[in-house]
Amino acid sequence: GQNIDQPTEMTATEGAIVQINCTYQTSGFNGLFWYQQHAGEAPTFLSYNVLDGLEEKGRFSSFLSRSKGYSYLLLKELQMKDSASYLCAVMDSNYQLIWGAGTKLIIKP
């Protein structure tokens, strides 16, 4: 079966750095997405990786290793507004998205 694993919850301190991991087993691979979802709101797109390596976008970076079935989202200089759930999703060989359950990130002052 297809599976996306990410930690259920993480806690970090304002101003610090946090890394949210995602491992996947899917039927084929056509890209990996990270979305941010604040409580009670819709998910919003953060990043897309299809090739191995690191993609940097401001305070957020996303890394992919296809051979290891592994990705991480790195958040730097954490702000209170970064408190949210972070969803990892993989596009399989049928171009359907398989979603992880999300990682709830709690930022403490």
Partner 1 sequence: IAGITQAPTSQILAAGRRMTLRCTQDMRHNAMYWYRQDLGLGLRLIHYSNTAGTTGKGEVPDGYSVSRANTDDFPLTLASAVPSQTSVYFCASTGGNTGELFFGEGSRLTVL
Residues that bind partner 1 (CB under 8 A): 4, 8, 30-31, 33, 35, 41-45, 48, 87, 89, 91, 95-102
60 phi, psi to nearest 5 deg: -105, 140
The CA-CA-CA angle for residues 73, 41, 89, to 5°, reads 35
User: How is the chain split among helix, strand and coil, in percent rounded to 5?
Assistant: 5, 55, 40
CA distances from 46 to 17, 29, 102 (A): 17, 19, 14
CB of 109 to partner 1, least distance (A): 27
Give 82's DSSP letter: G
For the bound state, the minimum distance from the C-beta of residue 100 to partner 1, rounded and expressed in Å, comes to 5
Closer residue to partner 1 (CB): 11 or 44: 44
Task: Please state the closest distance from residue 59 (CB atom) to partner 1, in A.
Answer: 19
Residue closer to partner 1, measured from CB, 60 or 99: 99
